[in-house]
Chain A
Amino acid sequence: DAKTTQPPSMDCAEGRAANLPCNHSTISGNEYVYWYRQIHSQGPQYIIHGLKNNETNEMASLIITEDRKSSTLILPHATLRDTAVYYCIVRGTSYDKVIFGPGTSLSVIP
């Protein structure tokens, strides 16, 4: 599987947009970018995924660069409940097992 690189931690002011970057420079053409998050002492939660086009759902937006070597997860109006570890994962298909890296610990500050 292609590796991803994320900053270990980030802060975001409550109500502002949280932009979480992810580098995946070795991604191959048929691999998807998935984002999960884990709130403390809970199981991971699926957020969003994409292949090459930008995606948006009720939780977040995913912006993938044209060369697909990096992406950004955007939480448009961060709340305190968005404080969590966010994992960017590259997978061939949704049937591939999910392998977690260190992720980014996002702290939303009042």
Chain B
Amino acid sequence: GAVVSQHPSRVICKSGTSVKIECRSLDFQATTMFWYRQFPKQSLMLMATSNEGSKATYEQGVEKDKFLINHASLTLSTLTVTSAHPEDSSFYICSARSAGGTGTDTQYFGPGTRLTVL
């Protein structure tokens, strides 16, 4: 099946620094990727949708200048949390949508990245 990887799996950083999270589709091309955030004991919240080669579309309430998304290729999207603060500590999950396929799902999820900001 389609595999999506994320790197790093967990990261700890100091307040004020920036952190980059990578999302890769390993065996398919992803024209669209999604970024979610999940706080403890809560559901996943969609942050933004990115299409390869164009600017990301952010959900209401998500600061685009704080959460920079780059989708430069069909297999890689990055999320950079700029000037991270403790309230940005969360579980970040990416999802990649394949360009084709029927019968099952076309949106595949990564394993998540645990960000802790001290």
Contact = CB atoms under 8 A, between A and B. Distances in A.
Contacts of B107: 46, 94, 97-98
B76 interface: no
A43 B95 CA distance: 9
Contacts of A43: 4, 6, 93, 95, 109-112
Q: Is the interface of A mostly helix, strand, loop or mixed?
A: loop
Interface residues of B, number: 25
A46 B104 contact: yes
A60 to B, nearest CB: 13
Interface string A11-27: 00000000000000000
Interface of A: 34, 38, 41-46, 49, 85, 87, 94-95, 97-103
11 contacts: A41-B112, A41-B114, A43-B4, A43-B95, A45-B109, A94-B101, A97-B49, A98-B107, A100-B36, A100-B44, A100-B45
Interface of B: 4, 6, 34, 36, 43-46, 49, 91, 93, 95, 97, 101-102, 104-112, 114
